Amino acid sequence: MRVLVTGAAGSLGRTVTVGLADRGHDVVGLDLLPEPEGFDGPWYAVDCADPDAVEAVFQAERLDGVVHLAGDPDESALPAALVSHVHTTAALIDAMVAHGVRRLVYASSNHAVGGVPRSEPVDETTLPRPDTYYGVAKVAAEALLRLAADRHGLDTIACRIGSFRAQPESVRQLATWLSPDDAVRMVEAALTAPAPGFAVVYGVSANTRGWWDLEPGRRLGYEPLDDAEEAADQVAPGPDDAAESAYVGGPFLAPSMHRPAMRDA
């Protein structure tokens, strides 16, 4: 497939672009930043929230799908979060509809349901329960994916990613870790699954301590192979472990994350 990867210079983006290329896909990169050393393919250093810039990319490239990873992975005031996650997604969907590109794989987040307590199941029917404005924006971006599937028949997959790291770094992450290899497996499965329509996938590895439902991903062909438990002896206990394990969103539930919606903190 010829795939546009947004956020291609980022943490996930660098792993996914290399992984997709290794698996035989043609990758077109897009990021605010210049292309990283070693990237092989067309590169667009543009703002994904700018609909004219995104449209120009689609005019220049024949694409089979989009992997949308561009966005600020941290909490911010609400307007910035909406631009970063909702405006970028909307600009891409507009261009996809205009150019007949039918597959969108989106880096959503566990923080879309971060307010769900540990005692409750987490599956594809879990209702939105954001833990931050970041989470609110991810919920809204997922709503755009749903609308695009219903209105235009696009295949749109919301990957609610846990903790993408080279290795798990905290006790919570022993449950929420997404390994680099599993991230590539997940994205490729979401790109190539036959006619999924709108779908939710939990972006985590096959962690022994995990509790988010892996079945929706497996139905799309995402079979995670890594397990954070193999690195458990390298993870030191921390003072916030109990609090971070009480909700899906872990540290994003901490009072220190509270801030006004409409002003910079």
Ligand X SMILES: NC(=O)c1ccc[n+]([C@@H]2O[C@H](COP(=O)([O-])OP(=O)(O)OC[C@H]3O[C@@H](n4cnc5c(N)ncnc54)[C@H](O)[C@@H]3O)[C@@H](O)[C@H]2O)c1
- What residues are labeled active site? 134
Least Cβ distance, residue 166 to ligand X (angstroms): 11
DSSP 205-261: ---TT--B--HHHHHTT------GGGGGGGPPP-TTHHHHTSBTTGGGGSGGG---S
Least Cβ distance, residue 87 to ligand X (angstroms): 8
Applying the rule CB under 6 A, the residues between 216 and 255 that interact with ligand X are: none
Name the residue nearer to ligand X (CB basis): 7 or 196. 7
Interface with ligand X: number of residues (CB under 6 A): 25
Name the residue nearer to ligand X (CB basis): 195 or 202. 202
Applying the rule CB under 6 A, the residues between 8 and 67 that interact with ligand X are: 9-13, 31-33, 47-49
Name the residue nearer to ligand X (CB basis): 180 or 196. 180
10 Å Cβ neighbour count for 150? 12
Site string for ligand X, 109-138 (x = CB under 6 A): x-----------------------------
Least Cβ distance, residue 8 to ligand X (angstroms): 7
DSSP 18-42: HHHHHTT-EEEEEESSPPPTT--S-
Applying the rule CB under 6 A, the residues between 151 and 180 that interact with ligand X are: 161, 163-164
H or E element: which one contains 147?
helix 133-152
Least Cβ distance, residue 173 to ligand X (angstroms): 9
CA atoms of 128 and 110, how far apart (whole Å): 10
Torsion of the alpha carbons at 248, 250, 256 and 260, rounded to the nearest 10: -30
Least Cβ distance, residue 141 to ligand X (angstroms): 9
Applying the rule CB under 6 A, the residues between 62 and 101 that interact with ligand X are: 69-73, 84, 88
Q: How far is CA 164 from CA 23, 90, 159, 174, in A?
A: 20, 24, 12, 11
Tokens 């995402």 found at = 222
10 Å Cβ neighbour count for 137? 31
CB distance 176 to 167 below 8 Å? no
Name the residue nearer to ligand X (CB basis): 107 or 220. 107
- Contacting residues toward ligand X, per CB under 6 A: 6-7, 9-13, 31-33, 47-49, 69-73, 84, 88, 107, 109, 161, 163-164
